[in-house]
Chain A
Amino acid sequence: MDIKILGTGCANCDSLEKATQAAVSELAIDAQFEKVTDPGEIASWGVMSTPALVVDDEVVLSGRVPSQDEVAALLADR
């Protein structure tokens, strides 16, 4: 699974990354993480409110920090 964290480096982005990493290890998924901080690239995903979570080239969440359980539910659906 290919996971991207989109964010310009604010505290919320770190929280999203932590929640996602916790969810990944909870579900024991094999996933690659990538942090996207370049504003141009973030915008090109169609994301205008950070942080955002991209899973396998699809934006699944943007504009807020979800709980670990919520991320786990999002990942488990795939």
Chain B
Amino acid sequence: MNTITKPKASPTSNAQLWGKLGIVTLLWGLLYKLNRPTWDWLIYQVAGLSEETRLGSAVHFFLFDTTKIFLLLGGIVFAVTVVRSFVTIERTRALLGGRREGAGNVAAAGLGVVTPFCSCSAVPAFIGFVAAGVPLGVTLSFLIASPMVNEVAIVLIFGLFGFKITALYIGFGLLVAILGGFILGKLRLERWVEPFVFETKLRGKTVVPSSDMPWEDRFALGREEVATILKKVWPYVLVGIGIGAAIHGWAPEDFFARWAGSGNPLAVPIAVVVGVPLYSNAAGVMPLVEALAAKGVGMGTVLSFMMAVVALSLPEMILLRRVLKIQLLAIYVGVVGSGIIAVGYLFNAII
């Protein structure tokens, strides 16, 4: 998100800009409020489907949730992108440069959540961090936290399950990233990093991202990002909501509660094993998570499933294999996987 030269069209005045944002926000809030009553009316009154029937409740779940998820996504991605235009990965690296392990892991995990980062940049970022002298364990804390505590997931969980579960999700996600990176750092695994990483010389000066970007450009970035993300995730979201709606309407009331309720000790590891090969994103799994939780699957099991889908993905592992030898990659997956399983058990125990 770093431009050096910014071509400007016509400068809009700041008052106009904030006015526009205010109007869009109001409109967004109105749509969000009207979502449920509108679908209630259209499906139960106009179309005459009963709330009690499977078809009625599944159709309602599908349309209501689709609208809700897309509204939330649009709003969240815009806000997050604008906030993130103040943070860059280059600045994060500079902040982590002089840190020791311990405090460094805590800082890295926190920064991993707020730094704009796409998993396709994981490899250059890894090399950039390590070559600049950030300790391996601290770098890994950053790499674990970034997908684990996903900003889209944070806001969706908040919208669907409330404050307490959101706070626990963030807290445990950070804990896994901090402890995971700390333990991996203590194990002195530098020998399992591909040697070329340490030999990489950073030539010239790093791109210095513009920090004095005007608000107009930050908003433009936000709009672009909303379009990009929606274009990328909509099929996942629709499939997720479709499966969620089917579970909502057709899965027998006690099926999941019996087999995957918090009473079953194997539910959490199974959820993780099922979740890893599924390649989706936070927005795509949320409807599924919501439907499963409503059917009585333990909250911890559901969250473990979501974290496994989002944080451990096969394509990302294949990318990381270019810088990590297979032993370190396996340990990385093992630590993150056990962390996710531990979070699941903890959640099931306390909720």
> Chain A: residues with CB nearer than 8 A to chain B?
7-8, 10, 12, 39-40, 42-50, 52, 59-66, 69-70, 73-74, 77
Contact = CB atoms under 8 A, between A and B. Distances in A.
8 contacts: A12-B118, A39-B123, A40-B197, A46-B202, A47-B124, A49-B2, A50-B124, A70-B3
Nearest to A70: B7
Contacts of A49: 1-2, 88-89, 116-118, 121, 124-125
A56 to B, nearest CB: 13
B230 interface: no
Interface in B270-318: none
B5 A8 contact: no
B151 interface: no
Interface of B: 1-5, 7, 88-90, 93, 116-118, 120-121, 123-125, 127-129, 131, 196-197, 200-207, 221, 224, 228, 319, 322-323
A43 B124 contact: yes
A48 B125 contact: yes
A46 B206 CA distance: 5
A14 to B, nearest CB: 12
Contact of B2 (A45, A61, A74, A77): A61
A42 B121 CA distance: 10
Contacts of A73: 5, 7
A48 B124 contact: yes
Contacts of B206: 46
A59 B206 CA distance: 9
Given A39-B322, A43-B202, A48-B93, A59 B207 contact: yes
Contact of A44 (B7, B121, B203, B207): B203
Contact of B203 (A46, A61, A64, A77): A46
B3 A45 contact: no
A68 to B, nearest CB: 11
A49 B121 CA distance: 5
Given A12-B120, A59-B207, A48 B4 contact: no
Nearest to B197: A40
B93 to A, nearest CB: 7
A73 B8 CA distance: 10
Nearest to A57: B204
Contacts of A64: 1, 3, 221, 224
Contacts of B128: 43, 46-48
Given A43-B131, A59-B207, A66-B3, A48 B121 contact: yes
A1 B197 CA distance: 30
Contacts of B127: 39-40, 42-43
A40 B247 CA distance: 46
Q: Which among B7, B121, B224 has the greatest number of chain A C-beta atoms within 10 A?
A: B121
Contacts of B201: 44
